[in-house]
Amino acid sequence: MKLSDFKYPLPRNLVAKYPASPRDHSRLMVLNRADETIEDRHFSDIADYFKKGDTLVVNETKVFQARLFGKKEKTNAKIEVFLLRQLNIEDNIWDVIVDPARKVRIGNKIYFDDGQLWCEVIDNTTSRGRTVRFNYAGDFFKVIDRIGQTPLPYYIKREPTPKDKESYQTVFAKTVGAVAAPTAGLHFTKPLIKKLEKKGVKVAPVLLHIGLGTFRTVEVEDLTKHKMDSEYFEVPAESALIVNKSIDTKSNVFVCGTSACRAVESCVTTDGHLKQGRGWTDKFIFPPYDFKIADKLITNFHMPESTLLMLVSGFANHEFVMRAYKQAIKKGYRFYSYGDAMLIL
């Protein structure tokens, strides 16, 4: 398939700026692959589609306050430093994006928190990318949790508020390391999880630290030439056992989100089971693709020409997915990170 196959027009007013409240009151579009029918529900109804013995795979990554605002030495120019990933824990070296990039060169220092924290630029990586070394040797995440801002995606055209610190975090969030939330998980509430567990559904947590690569623009028409950024993932042994039990008993494995889906599809045995594993994955899923683990997929409505939309189109028939998107727009569904959800059966 080609990049242009994934274009669609979206009115700006359908990009959600705030999440539904309560979370599970968002809308849910249900796609049935067997007969290509579409049903409109609410997310709180999702338990109706689970049965005893099923598994729900979730991503337990936790978003950190990745947006820092500091001042350049000597000039006091305001500089935004967007933390991407920590390259070296001992020396506290990070890959970052800086803005405005033209003002930030190798050797420059940027000061934060009234000068208590600073970083020095030690390398250029891309036009806006830099590698920096922070002077702080203690609990760095504790510091940035206090002084940083929630890294809302650029398409949410507003400044983050203190409330976003909680809103842009799933109830499964446990391990710090993501600069974007696994947004399909944002719809779940603790009471909804308890309802699923009472039905005999097991929750299997995996980990994939979402980076900006998830939102990176695909710039080649030939999808086979696109290279995904590597993202760190873990599949615990206990979660693999839970998933494999559902596989062996012919129960369903519901995967919540494209990030969790990429994690499990990166850890498949030759006989189609899930195995324990950890490392870095650059797995790019687009049609046609034979999913080995996921039977059902919970996801959000994604950007045109995005790798996330391509994964969803690989899970369901591409034409069916695009027809569903057209219907969602017509019916006023809310799109992207804080938007509504889709369940593909």
**Considering the chain, what percentage of its residues have pLDDT values greater than 90?**
89
Residue 127 burial class via C-beta count within 10 angstroms: exposed 0-12, middle 13-18, buried 19 and up: exposed
CA dist 26 and 186 (Å) reads 10
Last residue of a domain, one of 93, 119, 147: 147
Residue 195 and residue 182 share a domain: yes
Is the same domain home to 287 and 308? yes
Please indicate, yes or no, whether residues 225 and 250 belong to a single structural domain of this protein: yes
Cα 166 from chain centroid (whole Å) = 16
Give per-residue pLDDT as tens, 148-197: 999 998 899 999 999 999 999 999 999 999 999 999 999 999 999 999 99
Indicate whether 213 pLDDT > 80: no
Within this chain, do residues 199 and 258 fall inside the same structural domain, yes or no? yes
Question: Has residue 29 been placed in a domain?
Answer: yes
CATH number of the domain enclosing 80: 2.40.10.240
Considering the domain architecture, whether residues 169 and 188 belong to the same structural domain is answered as yes
Mean pLDDT, rounded, for 238-253: 98
Output the pLDDT for position 77.
93
Predicted confidence (pLDDT) per residue in 65-122, tens digit: 999 999 999 899 999 999 998 998 889 999 999 999 888 999 999 999 988 899 999 9
Say if 152 falls within a structural domain.
no
For residue 94, is it within any domain?
Answer: yes
Give the contacts of 261 (CB within 8 A, at least 6 positions apart): 57, 255, 285, 291, 293, 294, 297, 311, 315
What is Dmax (Cα atoms) for the chain?
66
**237 is in which domain, residue-wise?**
3-63+165-344
pLDDT reported for residue 311: 97
Question: Hey, what are 211's tokens?
Answer: 């980076």
* CA-based torsion, 178, 338, 215, 269: positive or negative: positive
Q: Is residue 153 part of a domain?
A: no
Clarify whether residues 48 and 92 are in a common domain.
Answer: no
* Residues 33 and 110 both lie in one domain: no
pLDDT computed for residue 66 by the predictor: 95
Judge whether 160 lies within some domain.
no
Q: Which of 282, 10, 260, 332 is nearest to 155 (CA)?
A: 10
**pLDDT of 216 strictly over 80:** no
Q: What pairs with residue 30 in β-bridges?
A: 39, 343
Residue 95 and residue 54 share a domain: no
Establish if 316 belongs to a structural domain.
Answer: yes
Q: Give yes or no: residues 52 and 125 share one domain.
A: no
